[in-house]
């Protein structure tokens, strides 16, 4: 079936407005706190570039639990936040395993970008854009992995097939609605960061604690919206 963008949008906003208190616990524990701690104590200035990247990756893996718990709360309204977190923790390894497929399709993009450097030829730039477009397309086709594993208790391989089938014919719509959300929150995050720097001092390379706090809050709210959105897209396409 065709994804109704308007319905996915309004359902997402409605869910967040009505149930933000439920979503706040997993978002705060598994997205906000890791983000803030990494920004404050595990950035490149404190640990060096390589260790900071490892810390960011660990934070992302922890965030999977919070995002999965939010998807659970949307798809299973009767579950409480604590139960959602426990179930999400059990499903997180499977979600991460399935999501490695998305990482794999972006690896050629990263390798090629690194190899051509900043002074790329026109042909190399076109090839990079083509590889990026293919990777984004595959990522969108696999964007329902977490919701499928959570709702259908699917194995990683089965979730890959199921997501590919459900998103057929809807890639443009899925891209459009995710792009809108990402653009809104990118602008909001930039404004919050700029206001924080102006009000409390610091620099983009070494922001103050209040600025890091504000940016981490925006990031946690963004994760809530994206998780709820993916659950609502799945609910529509699987109906």
Closest C-alpha to 70, from 45, 55, 92: 92
**What's residue 194's pLDDT?**
84
Is the confidence at residue 119, as pLDDT, over 80? no
Q: 42 — phi, psi (to 5°)? A: -130, 35
Q: What is the pLDDT of residues 133-186, one digit of tens each?
A: 999 999 999 999 999 999 999 999 999 999 999 999 999 999 999 999 899 989
Report if pTM > 0.85.
yes
Is the confidence at residue 118, as pLDDT, over 80? no
Q: What is the pLDDT of residues 12-63, one digit of tens each?
A: 999 999 999 999 999 999 999 999 999 888 776 667 778 888 888 999 999 9
**Lowest-pLDDT range, 14-28, 80-94, 126-140, 205-219?**
205-219
Read off the DSSP letter of residue 144.
T
Q: What is the Cα 80 distance to its own chain's centre?
A: 22
Closest C-alpha to 89, from 69, 75, 70: 69
Position with higher pLDDT, 48 vs 10: 10
**What's residue 202's pLDDT?**
67
């Amino acid at each position: 079936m065709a994804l109704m963008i308007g319905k996915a949008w309004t359902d997402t906003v409605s869910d967040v407005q009505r149930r933000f208190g439920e979503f706040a616990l997993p978002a705060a524990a598994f997205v906000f706190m890791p983000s803030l701690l990494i920004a404050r104590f595990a950035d490149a200035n404190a640990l060096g570039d390589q260790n900071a990247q490892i810390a960011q990756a660990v934070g992302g893996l922890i965030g999977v639990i919070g995002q999965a718990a939010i998807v659970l709360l949307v798809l299973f309204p009767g579950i409480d936040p604590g139960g959602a977190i426990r179930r999400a923790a059990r499903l997180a390894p499977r979600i991460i395993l399935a999501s490695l497929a998305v990482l794999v399709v972006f690896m050629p993009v990263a390798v090629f970008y690194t190899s051509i450097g900043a002074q790329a030829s026109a042909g190399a730039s076109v090839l990079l854009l083509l590889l990026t477009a293919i990777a984004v397309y595959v990522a969108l086709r696999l964007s329902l992995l977490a919701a499928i594993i959570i709702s259908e208790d699917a194995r990683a391989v089965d979730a890959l097939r199921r997501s590919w089938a459900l998103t057929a014919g809807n890639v443009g719509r899925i891209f459009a609605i995710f792009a809108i959300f990402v653009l809104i929150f990118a602008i909001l995050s930039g404004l919050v960061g700029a206001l924080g720097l102006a009000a409390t001092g610091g620099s983009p390379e070494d922001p103050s604690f209040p600025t890091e706090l504000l940016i981490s809050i925006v990031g946690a709210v963004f994760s809530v919206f994206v998780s709820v959105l993916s659950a609502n897209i799945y609910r529509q396409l699987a109906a």
